[in-house]
Structure 1
Amino acid sequence: MLDRQRTGIVFNVQKFSVHDGEGIRTLVFLKGCPLHCPWCSNPESQRREPERAYNSSRCLTAAVCGRCAKACPTGAVSVVNGMIRFDRAKCTGCNACVRACPSGAQTVYGETMSVDDILRRVEEDGVFYSRSGGGVTLSGGEALTQPEFALALLREARRRHIHTTIETCGHYPTEVLDEACRSLDALIFDVKCLDSERHKRFTGVGNELILKNINHVFEHLPDLPVLIRTPVIPGFNDTEEDILRIREMIPKRPNVRYEALTYHRLGQPKYGYLGRRYELEGVKADDAFMKRLNAMLKAYES
């Protein structure tokens, strides 16, 4: 099969991003992730299959609309006391309610797209990439949990002279990462914690494979531009010792950078749309600590 014909499951194609690689970029979010971080800002990315979601704040109400309940053949969407109710146990995934909903309250995260479909949308903004040094960034979830699709997408983007970057958690076979890096212009790699037991307790997996993979990049692809990122999560890795240990394991090279990210809850509402509980309810970032931490990291670089 030609790379441009390869298909995968994507839940968003976001244009005009300026925080996920150089310049102005288009982000392609692929479904599926081997980690299950409770702070994840894209919970709709974690499962590989498409997922139904319901956002009641966008609903026009049963009195005004009610089209979704009329369209549902199984009774998963119904009207109870004048309000729209969604019963996931009865849902078969036919998406009749999604097609009937005029406001986007009923939606589905995830659709099958081809490499050609995606890059056609990416190329619409080619003028912005050429002026800003931008391009396409694969994200998720974890893009490399769909390796054949992600690798085909990277290869075809390179053929079309589109700058390529990937945001990755690093937990998959080393040979997959190695092949991906051969088609990358830059790599964004998360290192969350060096304590494997704690890493497993919070994310569901240990960190041995992740550390093996980033060290493979440092050793075998020494010229690849790499940004190592650590989301600083209260109660997980929010000490100067945790962050400094990560920084010290990263080689000091002009093409390798490190960034500590402040915890945020921007993705919290989506847990409700998916019928899940946000486990870090009430947790807030310590702004004073982050200020001290960034000052420490700046001093480390000097």
Structure 2
Amino acid sequence: MSEANGYDKSKYGYIFNIQRYSVHDGPGIRTIVFLKGCPLKCQWCANPESQLLQPELAFNNNKCIGTKDCQYCFKVCAQGAIKEKENKIMVDREACNHCGECAEACPAKALTMYGNLKSVQEVLDMVEQDGNFYSRSGGGITLSGGEPILQSDFAIGLLKEAKRRRINTAIETCGYADWTKLEEVCQYVDTLLFDIKSMDAVKHKQYTGVSNDIILDNFKKLCEEFPGKSILVRTPVIPGFNDTEADILAIINFIKGNPNVKYELLAYHRLGEQKYSYIGKEYLLHGVTPLQEERILALKKLAKEKMQEV
């Protein structure tokens, strides 16, 4: 492999999941390939294991056999990152280098790794297994994450190979990326799913860790450079962050006027909350309850009406 750090980024990349038979992330039945790494740290993120670019050690305390009966992880951890706590273990996150040795040694699978290195060939061979579903439904492959463009060489490699195999392509992006990389990726994408979370720069940085300037600028460039590209703008509606009519209307007023752009609201959920404890992180929206279904439906109705207005 030609890269100095050990692998060719155009042929290999870090992924943490491949989800088959999805009907929510692009047209038709799709296979979603989740890439590691994200420049945002959204407080509601359902995939916190996606944020770190490299593989990451996870620990499920409920599966741990206990230090009285098992100490395999202690024996293999050269960093001394495995500590004892009340007959179970704990992971010293500052000492851990995510090498994965302890996960391989753990008989109970209490220690596991989020993410592994895969080749373009390996991924597309798995994706192509569902080719019959794609041809019948108009589906294909969707790159998600994390932020796929953070691994732009690998993402382009996947998309090019998918195109060569005549597989429909889509990508989910937060929009926070170098424009030249986003532009190149889009040349191999049939459908672009683009997140716009808020037009308020202060709130955006408070809840995601970054400003929205680059995101909004990239969206404008996309509409100018790819006027025929199918773009679906999506907004996760988060209680206390962007759940008012004014929040949604501000986004609609920004994206309206582009005939190739559609808009969708996504309801907030807490399905990924437990994973935060597995990787030693705190879920900052703990206790925040999803909006009532009636409220979400009302906002969706508003969005549909306003997007149809000339």
More off after superposition, 73-82 vs 108-117:
73-82
Alignment-derived partner of residue 34 in structure 2: 29
1:128 matches 2:133: yes
| 1:228 counterpart SS class | strand
Please state if 1:290 is matched with 2:296.
Answer: yes
- What amino acid sits opposite 1:111 in the alignment? N
Residue 155 in 1 paired to residue 196 in 2? no
> Contact 1:44–1:109 (CA<8 Å) still a contact in 2?
yes
User: Number of residue pairs matched?
Assistant: 301
Matches within 5 A, 1:111-122: 111-122=116-127
Please tell me whether the aligned partners of residues 30 and 140 of structure 1 are also in contact (alpha carbons under 8 angstroms). Answer: yes
- 1:128 partner amino acid: F
Residues in 1 aligned to 2:194 and 2:38: alpha-carbon distance in whole angstroms: 14
Give the aligned residue type for 1:141: G
Q: Quote the residue 1:189 is aligned against.
A: 194
Note if 1:230 corresponds to 2:240: no
**1:138 corresponds to:** 143
- Structure 1 residue 65: Cα displacement: 5.0
Residue from 20, 24, 27 that aligns with 1:19: 24
In the alignment, is the contact (CA less than 8 A) between 1:53 and 1:107 conserved in 2? yes
Give 1:83 deviation, angstroms: 2.2
| Partners of 1:187 and 1:199 in 2: CA distance | 21
Mean alpha-carbon deviation: is it higher for 55-64 or for 269-278?
55-64
Partner letter of residue 289 of structure 1? R
Match for 1:209 among 214, 224, 244? Answer: 214
The whole-number CA distance in structure 1 between the counterparts of 2:51 and 2:9 is 25
Deviates more, 1:123-132 or 1:261-270: 123-132
1:259 aligns with 2:297: no
SS across alignment from 2:15 = strand
CA RMSD across the alignment: 2.2
Q: 1:301 to 1:85 in 2, by over 3 A?
A: closer
SS at 1:222 equivalent: coil
Deviation of residue 199 (structure 1)?
1.4
Q: Per-residue displacement from partner, 1:197-242 (whole Å, max 9, x unpaired)?
A: 2212221221121111111121221111111001111121111011
Partner of 2:306: 300
* CA distance in 2: counterparts of 1:209 and 1:163, whole angstroms: 28
Distance in 1 separating the partners of 2:206 and 2:169: 33
Q: How far has the Cα of 1:279 moved from its partner? A: 0.6
The amino acid that maps onto 2:128 is: E
Number of the residue aligned with 2:113: 108
User: TM-score if structure 2 supplies the norm length?
Assistant: 0.89
Q: TM-score, normalised by structure 1?
A: 0.92
